[in-house]
């Protein structure tokens, strides 16, 4: 962690908890941000911030200087007024008026750019944020600022479209860091312009790097083959702290902005790409409904009798005395008895508590995979679990749509009766068919995108022949079918790992 980002963390800590001693600040850095540098480095930094009048000292404790806060707020307000206000007093309001800014380092230029970006994305906008750049960098060295921007996007729902010239390990890692249902990114896009361009409404910002800096960055990115071995301190010192003349042009021109925006958006033309995901055993470890019921029992929200009745069909299924479909039908019925008489809001609160608990666990790849597919098209969860449980996961995944088992309601209170059972395979097929407005097989004969079919050879719910019929109906020349040798309807850990590796290989090859 470099000193610049440590500085941001110290200010962030003191913005919510103050005054604090140096030792208290150091303890919070270690506990909350996994800070692994010496106490002396923090002590030195805090003294520096105090000497710069950023921090104020009260006896042995520190807090942020109010005059510095006021000064900083005015600077940011000035940026917003100058570049995003609709007032006539805006310096670059007239069409074609160009403002040129010079920065002495990449760090200074990037801080300015991130503030401009945040100012735009933190408000509702009529136009999406669009950009083209040679490389992505911010998540590597400005993770806190990047998180701030992502949080703003989730609140305002401003769509963002980024094209990136290169497709190195670092570029793709940064892209996956950003990707979600609002942020679409394409790497490896061939465009001729040598500057980085950012389009925000009718404002265009161009950033120009010295040739020597561009060459050094290209070499560093091309040599980095493993993101885990990236030395962030070296990266920041070499490129961000070194003296470089960075030129930034700002101008308002609605016609040019529209042309650039349309050019960038042309790489994201709508396709028929839709990704359907099951939840249990695919994104969530274990069986989320049984884990949720165990959570309710442990928290004394349900009786031992109800808990035992729910768990009994599961034990019969695990001992091969009950089929998957029979087990699913029985546990959904027993779950109805558990939630009977409870309000929708009460169950929603319990679901959120469960998701935050240690009983709930995702696979390491889950969020990254959904973000990747969200950047390529729509994502839909189709699960036999209760809708309110699956929908509760959407704070993590941002699915475009969730389909799950629903229960009857009367005056916002659960009656306990199953209204729509989505645990049965035929119901899931019907949902997909209805969503597409025509059969999946017909859809696959009409679209021409890379398509992968994965199926378990030992699946007793959906026969292998169905998978082969589906595969043969696919029109795309870039198609592949993989049959997992020991795969049943619910993959075990070994089969799941094999399937996920095949999916990643397929995505890397075609997307």
180-227 tens-digit pLDDT: 778 888 888 888 777 899 999 989 999 999 999 999 989 999 888 888
**Residue owning tokens 């009950």:** 322
Chain centre to alpha carbon of residue 138: 15
Q: What is the DSSP letter of 113?
A: H
**pLDDT for the residue numbered 292:** 92
User: Averaging pLDDT over each range in 68-77, 295-304, 362-371, 476-485, which range is the top one?
Assistant: 295-304
Q: Could you tell me if residue 240 is inside a domain?
A: yes
Pair 204, 339 in one domain: no
Question: Please, what is the average pLDDT of the chain?
Answer: 82
In this predicted structure, what is the pLDDT of residue 342?
92
Is residue 279, in this structure, part of any structural domain at all? no
| CATH label of the domain that carries residue 296 | 3.40.50.1000
Distance CA 147, CA 139 (A): 8
Question: Does any domain span residue 244?
Answer: yes
Residues 247 and 311 in one domain: no
Residue 353 lies in a domain: yes
pLDDT digits 0-9 by tens, 142-193? 656 667 888 888 888 899 999 999 999 889 888 888 887 788 888 888 887 7
pLDDT at 71: 63
Q: Is there a single domain that holds both residue 239 and residue 303?
A: no
Average pLDDT over residues 104-108: 88
Q: Is residue 464 included in any domain, yes or no? A: no
Is residue 240 located within the same domain as residue 215?
yes
Cβ–Cβ < 8 Å for 159, 182: yes
Q: Quick check: is 371 in a domain?
A: no
Which domain, by its residues, includes 208? 76-268
Residues 220 and 145 in one domain: yes
Instruction: Give the pLDDT of residue 315.
Output: 92
Average pLDDT over residues 89-95: 40
| DSSP β-bridge partners for residue 409 | 414
300 and 243 fall within a common domain: no
**Residues 51 and 115 both lie in one domain:** no
Tokens matching residue 172: 């793709």
* Two structure tokens written together for 357: 């608990």
In this structure, are 243 and 323 located in the same domain?
no
- 0.75 exceeded by pTM: no
Check whether residue 293 and residue 254 sit in a common domain: no
| Predicted confidence (pLDDT) per residue in 444-455, tens digit | 555 667 888 999
Q: Please report the pLDDT score of residue 142 as a whole number.
A: 61
Domain total for the chain? Answer: 3
Decide if 158 is inside a domain: yes
Mean pLDDT, residues 391-397 taken together? 80
Distances (CA, A) of 16 to 12, 19, 149, 321, 404: 7, 10, 19, 56, 40
Higher pLDDT, 236 or 413: 413
Residues 165 and 21 in one domain: no
Q: Say whether pLDDT at 121 is over 70.
A: yes
Identify the band that residue 477 occupies on the pLDDT scale cut at 50, 70 and 90: confident
Same domain flag for 81 and 174? yes
Task: Indicate whether 261 and 288 sit together in one domain.
Answer: no
* CATH number of domain containing 189: 3.30.870.10
């Amino acid at each position: 962690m470099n000193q610049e980002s440590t500085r941001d963390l110290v200010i962030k800590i003191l913005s919510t908890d103050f005054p604090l001693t140096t030792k208290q600040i150091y303890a919070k850095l270690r506990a909350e941000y996994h800070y692994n540098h010496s106490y002396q480095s923090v002590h030195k930094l805090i003294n520096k911030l105090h000497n710069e009048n950023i921090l104020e000292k009260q006896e042995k404790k520190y807090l942020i200087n109010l005059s510095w806060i006021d000064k900083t707020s005015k600077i940011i307000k000035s940026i917003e007024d100058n570049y995003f206000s609709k007032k006539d007093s805006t310096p670059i309001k007239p069409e074609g008026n160009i403002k040129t800014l010079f920065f002495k380092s990449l760090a200074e230029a990037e801080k300015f750019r991130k503030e401009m970006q945040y100012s735009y994305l933190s408000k509702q906008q009529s136009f999406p944020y669009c950009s083209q750049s040679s490389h992505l960098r911010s998540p590597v060295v400005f993770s806190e600022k990047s998180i701030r921007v992502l949080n703003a996007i989730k609140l305002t729902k401003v769509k963002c479209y980024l094209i990136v010239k290169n497709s190195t390990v670092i570029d793709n890692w940064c892209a996956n860091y950003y990707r979600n249902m609002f942020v679409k990114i394409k790497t490896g896009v061939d465009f001729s312009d040598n500057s980085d361009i950012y389009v925000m409404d009718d404002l265009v910002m161009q950033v120009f790097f010295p040739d020597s800096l561009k060459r050094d960055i290209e070499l560093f990115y091309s040599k980095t083959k493993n993101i885990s071995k990236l030395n962030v301190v070296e990266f920041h010192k070499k490129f961000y702290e070194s003296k470089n003349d960075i030129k930034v042009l700002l101008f308002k021109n609605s016609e040019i902005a529209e042309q650039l925006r349309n050019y960038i958006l042309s790489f994201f033309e709508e396709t028929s790409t839709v990704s359907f995901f099951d939840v249990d055993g695919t994104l969530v470890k274990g069986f989320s409904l049984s884990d949720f019921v165990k959570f309710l029992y442990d928290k004394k929200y349900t009786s031992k009798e109800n808990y035992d009745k729910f768990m009994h069909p599961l034990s019969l299924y695990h001992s091969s005395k009950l089929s998957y479909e029979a087990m699913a039908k029985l546990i959904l019925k027993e779950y109805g008895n558990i939630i009977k008489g409870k309000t929708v809001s009460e169950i929603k609160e319990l679901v959120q508590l469960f998701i935050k608990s240690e009983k709930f666990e995702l696979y390491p790849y889950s969020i990254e995979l959904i973000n990747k597919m969200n950047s390529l098209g729509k994502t839909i969860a189709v699960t036999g679990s209760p809708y309110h449980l699956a929908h509760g996961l959407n704070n993590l995944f941002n699915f475009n749509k969730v389909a799950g088992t629903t229960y009857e309601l009367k005056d916002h209170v659960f009656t306990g009766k199953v209204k729509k059972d989505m645990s049965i395979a035929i119901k899931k097929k019907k949902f997909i068919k209805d969503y597409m407005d025509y059969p999946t097989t017909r859809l696959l004969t009409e679209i021409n995108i890379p398509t992968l079919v994965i199926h378990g050879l030992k699946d007793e719910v959906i026969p292998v022949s169905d998978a082969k019929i589906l595969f043969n109906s696919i029109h795309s020349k870039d198609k592949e079918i993989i049959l997992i040798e020991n795969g049943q309807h619910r993959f075990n850990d070994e089969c799941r790992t094999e399937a996920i590796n095949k999916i990643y290989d397929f995505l890397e090859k075609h997307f």
